[in-house]
Amino acid sequence: MADEAHLDEDCIFCKIFRGEIPCFKVFEDDDILAFMDVNPIAEGHALVIPKHHSKNILETPSEWVGKTFAGAKRIAEAVHKTLKPDGINIVQANGPGAKQSVFHLHVHVIPRTMDDGLTMNWELVPGDIDDIGMLAEKIAANVA
């Protein structure tokens, strides 16, 4: 159920699910809202947001992250059934370095077609296996 205690009065996404700003709603339940991105990078680009305000995945309680990603799966299934794209990207950005533009946890569901020209893909370049292994050990030591 929406976490009224954790809403932000000035957040555009909180305003959307409170009905203060209109959206093209795709789905809503007690925990999430899914709506069309009004700045789409592809036809069918949708956003899924939790009804709990936290600025990114690092600050969001795991329960709300789970609800949000479960919602993203549900919306991805609907987008796939509707548009039958060649693929779907699920994108979630955290912080300015990742190009996060609205500081409320949200997941992008982006239908993709072959050769659509979107540039979020990267080439596969093998890394140094020893360096990767050492870094994996350091990260594993910090898993809570």
The domains located in the chain, with CATH, are 4-141 (3.30.428.10)
> pTM for the full model?
0.87
Find where tokens 């080439």 sit: 123
pLDDT of residue 120: 73
The per-residue pLDDT string of the chain (144 residues; one tens digit each, 9 = 90 and over) reads 555 657 788 999 999 989 999 999 999 999 999 999 999 999 999 999 999 999 999 999 999 999 999 999 999 999 999 999 999 999 999 999 998 999 999 999 999 999 898 887 667 678 888 888 888 888 888 877
* Widest Cα–Cα separation across the chain: 53
pLDDT of residue 2: 55
pLDDT of residue 4: 60
HSE-up of residue 71 (Cα within 13 Å, Cβ side): 26
Any long-range contacts for 87-96 (C-beta under 8 Å, 24+ apart)?
Answer: 87/111, 87/112, 88/112, 89/120, 91/120, 92/57, 94/56, 94/57, 94/58, 95/56
Name the strands in the sheet holding 46-50, side by side, starting at the edge strand that comes first in the sequence. Answer: 25-28, 32-36, 46-50, 107-112, 87-91
Other CB atoms within a 10 A radius of the CB of residue 91 amount to 15
Catalytic residue among 45, 52, 53, 106: 106
Residue 54 near residue 104, CB atoms below 8 Å: yes
Where are any strands of DSSP class E within 57-106? 87-91
The reply to whether 106 belongs to the active site is yes
